[in-house]
Every structure is written in C-alpha cells, then in structure tokens.
Amino acid sequence: MQTLKVSFSLDLFLKLLGRTSANSSSSGPAHGLPDLYEATVTEVQDGLDANRFSSAYIARTKEVNLKGPTLRAVLEINSLALEQAVKLDKERGSKGKRGPLHGIPLLLKDSISTDNSNGNTTAGSFALKDSIPRKDAGVVTKLRDAGAIILGRKANLSEFGQFRSHKLNGGWSALGGQGTNAYYPNGDTCGSSSGSAVAVSIGLCALVLGTDTTGSITFHASRNNIVGIKPTVGLTSRAGDTVEPLTCTVTDAAILLSAIAGKDPDDSMTSSQPVPLPAYIDALNLGALADKRIGAPRKIFIDSDTHPFILVAFEKSLRVMEEMGATIVDPADLPSADDLIKNGWTDEELTCLVDFNIDLYRYLTKLKESPSGVRTLSDIIKFIQDHPDLEQPKGFVQSNNTSGYNAHIFEVLERKSRLSEEQGIDAALSKYNLDALVAPHSTFQAAASANAGYPMIQDDGPIFYPAPGTPFGISFFASAWSEYQLLELSYAYEQKTQTRIKKSVYAEAVPSTQL
C-alpha cells in the first residue's frame, strides 16, 4: 500500500507536534508493524529499511512520563532529535545505512556526558543544570558514528548515582523527581539507573545506556524484567562514566555492546582488552547450554536474605537448564564467600566514596561552563544547603570527608580484588571446572563481580514475586572478557523461557501510541 511509505523524519515530526500519522493507531500497531512495547532493534531497522517506520517514542514518553502513572523515567526530550532523524534519513537513502543502529532511537542515563547541543548532563542535580562538558563521552561518540539518534536528553536516575545518600529513595533526583516501577503502581525501580530501566521496559525507546558501579545495571534489569550487561572493566570506555546496555532482549544487548565496545585514548583501561574483540551478535546460539557446566554459588545469595519464593523459582530455572543439556553443579560456592559477606559490601562502599570524590573533582574542573559555579564536591554540598527549595539538603558528607588514596584504602583495594577474583569467582570456576556461575540477583553477588571488574549478564526473568508481581531475574557471571560466552548462555535461556512476554506492566503504564 502506498500509505505505508511514510518517511521516518516526517512521521517523527508529526509525533513531536503531538499528532499521529495516517499509519498510527492508539490501540495497537498497524499493518503488521511491531508493537513498540516489544519492538527489537532488528524490527525497527527493518521498518526503516522499508521506508515505513515512524518514531512514536516521543509521543509515548509524553503519555506516561509526567501524566497518567507519572513514571518520571525521562528528564528531557532532545530538541535536535528531528534534525538528527532527517539527516540520517537522507543518508540512508543516498548512501545506505551505516549499520544496525542507523536511525535507531535511544536514551542515555543523565550521568553520561554529552555536549550541550544534545542536552544537559546533570546527574539529576540542579547544581549541574546547564553545565557544559568538554565533549561527548567516548561511548556517545561511538553511538553517533554508528548512526544512532539520541532521542531523550537523558533518563532520570538516583541523583549522582545514589551517592547523595543511601537514605534517599532509589530513583529520586531533584531534577526528575521520584521515578516509579512500571510493574506496580509507585513500585521501587531500584537505584541508580532507574529511568533508563523503566524507559526500555515499556518501549519509550529501543535501547538505553545506563551506568554501573555495583549492581546499578543488573539490579535494574532484574527489577524491570529486561536484559542488562555489566561488561568487564575496560571493554567499554569509562570516559564520561562507565556504561552498559539495558535492552528488552539479549539480541539487542549484543548489538548495542558491539557498538560501544572498543578502545578509547581517554581511558587507559581499554588498552587491556583482547584484540580483536568478538562479534557479539554471533553469540546468539540456541544450543549454548548443552554440555555446559553451570555452578550455583548458594552461599552468596542464601546468606543475603533472599526471599524464599525466589529460591523456589530459582530451583525451577536450574531444572530448565538441565533440560537444555547443562550440568548443574550445586552448590559451587566461592571459596571466599564468608569473607565477601563479611567485608565485600563495606569494602566496595568505602572505595566508591573515595573514588567518587576524586572522579567528581576531575569531571567538574574540566567543565567548559558551570553556571552554578560548582567545581568541587564541597561546592555541590554548599549549593544543596543554599537551595533547600530545589535540593533535599542531605548527603555527600561521607565522600567529602575522604582524603584520597592512603595505606588503608590500598589495603581494602587489594582485599577486594583477592576475595573477588583469585579466591572468589576465578577460584570457583577452576575448582568445579565451570563454564559460568548463575544466581538470582543479590547484593553480594553484585559486589563480587563489581570488586573483580568482571562481567555479568542479568537475564529477563524467570522470576516474579507473587505479590505485588514485580520481576526478579537471574544473573550469569564468569571471569574477565567472558561476555561472548555469557551472551550465549543468556540467549539460550531467554529463548527457551520467554519470560518477558509472559508478564506485562500494569495497564496504565503502557503507552497507547503505536506506529
């Protein structure tokens, strides 16, 4: 039909005006096009190739962000999205597409630096509103080069990545307000990549980049029924923040990881990555669990107050893996589990407080412009105290009181590494001859992977609390640079269980705008 050939840029323009095109439906997708609630990158790309895909994402955001369920997932819409779409549309017609992300709309967490033309980088704080970073984060440059559209001028988050204070609610920022979960009214999103996870869980964009220090990607993926990859430290650039994919499917996660992985002269850690990097999209293997040895490190999640319902559901997930040909080694405890439970989280928190103070100073001093005048953590604390009408006057004191790296901090860093790597994950993999470890997501499991700088993939499902019905997933994790193998396992399990499509968000949280 001729009416299918509506250009991407024109339809985006109509959506920006708050109208719908001739192809749009308020009740569901038209003409066999994918429902944006579940649309994958490949489906979106096929629509763009056919000159029939319209971007309804902005209209969907307006429906549920500050109206209706007020999920408060997105801080700003990029006013240049239309301009970017038009240019990429023309390029597609004249030169062909650059790759699988050409014309794909995505969101960035508001701690990932972008130049001011693409919106604020505020970490959710009025103290950084209208500040201008010196340049895009390394991964943002890679995404632009791949042809992606920065659809939203940042996703909401726990202010300053939850470093304000643990007493503040997860998912709250002064600029964005309190974000909520789409699976239960006013439900907890987890902090700090809250808006990123909620946005992708209900199809406000095709892809999201979040950030992770200790569990901020994998906790959110678990709580929002999506896929999250925390890569090995050094696989993606940390210049402008450490970033990881949040997506609806393992396939999309592999596509996005391929786009952002690689070396960056602004991050020396990326020089340690293997060369060449694998094509992660090739890891999508339905039979990947066959003949694999998968370990269940019971102690690190049983001793972290894991809900009994989760343990029952986890048993069922292990049986599914056995049906798929895997050998389950249970238990396969980390030799350092007791010490990790005793010291892992406190060690991680202490070193994070030190790192935050140092890294924030480096970032603030390099800003091109800072209208509020903040250049140090002390400046931010004073701004918060001076503006109680804008910012809740709490937090940052612990981090501000740190004095940088000293003998005690170096001792803690050494212990973190030893307990999590050679006496932890690596030791368990070797002792039980394992291909990977699997567990329901828990605090100590996240701390072990974070302390080691090792990868972890949070799969969508298989678990839902019986009430109020919020998701809780499982994580596959292993040693450094094992992303390819973890993607294989996650994909095979995802395709077998199809958990995500078995549980939808509550009705009011589902945007009605379609293609």
Dist. CA 199–CA 247, nearest whole Å: 10
Q: Which two tokens stand for residue 183?
A: 């699976």
The verdict on whether 193 is a catalytic residue reads no
Task: Write the DSSP assignment of 269-338 as a string of letters.
Answer: GGGGS-SSPP-GGGG--TTTTTT-EEE--HHHHHTTT--HHHHHHHHHHHHHHHHTTPEEES----TTHH
The catalytic position among 15, 62, 109, 154 is: 109
The reply to whether 90 belongs to the active site is no
Q: If we measure between CA atoms, which residue out of 505, 495, 512, 509 comes closest to residue 40?
A: 495
Torsion of CA 61, 65, 69, 73, to 10 degrees: 110
Q: Which of 9, 192, 237, 336 is catalytic?
A: 192
User: Catalytic residue at 271?
Assistant: no
Helices (H), 202-276: 218-224, 250-260
Note the Cα 353 to chain centre separation in Å: 21
**What is d(CA 428, CA 73) in angstroms, rounded to the nearest whole number?**
38
Q: Under a CB-based contact definition with an 8 Å cutoff, are residues 65 and 72 in contact? A: yes
Sign for the pseudo-dihedral over CA of 116, 120, 122, 127: positive
Q: Return d(Cα 109, Cα 122) in angstroms, integer.
A: 10
80 class by beta-carbon count within 10 Å (0-12 exposed, 13-18 middle, 19+ buried): middle
The answer to whether residues 117 and 133 touch, using CB atoms and an 8 Å cutoff, is no
Please report, as a single letter, which amino acid is at residue 6: V
* Whole-Å CA distances, 423 to 154, 205, 324, 414, 497: 39, 41, 30, 12, 33
Catalytic residue among 216, 237, 449, 479: 216
DSSP conformation class of 369? B
- Alpha helices (H) along 98-168: 138-145
CA distance 274 to 264: 14
Residues with a catalytic annotation lie at: 109, 192, 216
